[in-house]
């Protein structure tokens, strides 16, 4: 496989533009990936970020702006999200997404030296599965409130889903507004017109979002990370928000029991599920402590 065109040079500042390039297999275009690259590519500490739950790379801009400028960061739009190509027939289970990202890593030569992979929420589940499947690529792993673990305690959001028998995908402005307290702990009250705009922006993508949720919730996918924790051999950091009401923090009990390569756990206070947005500088601090340990 080979990338088309060649991998572009990385800027040395915290600002970067999206890069979209095709990946070819045996001379045939398979898909395109979108990523951002920041910092120098020639230093030893590589941090590759796989964001985030049904979002694009722009969602973690608060975090990467808080990281030191001498750290090379590659922020990849998850398969089907942002400007990365979307195929409704593709495999969007956690294993399928991990394999898709591995294609990207191979195509652009990122596997020539071990790197540090970081994922948040859905991206955390994918990053953990990646670590289990491709340990030779990695030097360290950071999992922020990772999905694909069946928590011993049902989250507050999960309890509401069972009670209301609703599909876990907010569509209307009111549904999006009702979901925010489960995602952001210290969120500001926003006017209703903001939620109407968000709902309208999401509307063309709702079918795809629903498809991804169905793929991730397949019986063999919804605990994909949990089933592979014992296969992760790379030193791993786990970060969780103290008040995460979307993915319950009790998942840490399973991680402590099964993940033998667990190096450190960081529970961030005054923080919910949106760790990168609510506590970007604290997140950057614990990441760099782990990188330099």
Selected catalytic residue, list 77, 137, 244, 248: 244
In angstroms, the CA 32 to CA 19 distance is 10
Q: Which of 57, 121, 155, 221 is catalytic?
A: 121
Token pair, residue 170, equals: 């907010």
CA distance 232 to 132: 5
Q: Is 121 a catalytic residue?
A: yes
Q: Which of 31, 46, 116, 273 is catalytic?
A: 273
| Residues marked as catalytic | 121, 244, 273
């Amino acid at each position: 496989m080979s990338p088309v065109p060649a991998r572009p040079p990385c800027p040395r500042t915290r600002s970067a533009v999206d890069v979209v390039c095709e990946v070819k297999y045996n001379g045939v275009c398979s898909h395109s990936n979108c990523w951002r690259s920041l910092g120098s590519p020639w230093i030893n500490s590589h941090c590759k970020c796989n964001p985030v739950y049904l979002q694009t790379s722009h969602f973690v801009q608060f975090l990467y702006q808080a990281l030191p400028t001498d750290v090379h960061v590659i922020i990849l739009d998850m398969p089907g999200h942002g400007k990365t190509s979307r195929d409704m027939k593709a495999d969007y289970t956690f294993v399928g997404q991990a394999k898709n990202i591995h294609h990207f890593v191979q195509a652009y030569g990122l596997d020539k030296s071990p790197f540090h992979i970081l994922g948040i929420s859905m991206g955390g589940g994918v990053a953990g599965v990646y670590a289990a499947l491709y340990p030779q690529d990695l030097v360290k792993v950071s999992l922020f409130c990772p999905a694909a673990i069946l928590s011993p305690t049902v989250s507050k959001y999960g309890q509401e889903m069972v009670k209301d028998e609703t599909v876990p995908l907010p569509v209307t402005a009111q549904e999006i507004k009702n979901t925010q307290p489960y995602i952001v702990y210290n969120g500001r009250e926003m006017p209703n017109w903001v939620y109407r705009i968000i709902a309208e922006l999401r509307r063309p993508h709702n079918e795809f979002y629903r498809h991804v949720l169905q793929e991730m919730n397949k019986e063999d996918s919804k605990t994909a990370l949990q089933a592979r924790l014992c296969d992760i051999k790379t030193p791993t950091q786990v970060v969780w928000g103290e008040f995460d009401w979307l993915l319950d923090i009790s998942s840490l009990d399973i991680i402590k029991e099964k993940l033998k390569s667990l190096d450190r756990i960081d529970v961030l206070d005054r923080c919910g599920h949106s760790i990168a947005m609510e506590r970007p500088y604290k997140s950057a601090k614990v990441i760099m402590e782990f990188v330099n340990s």
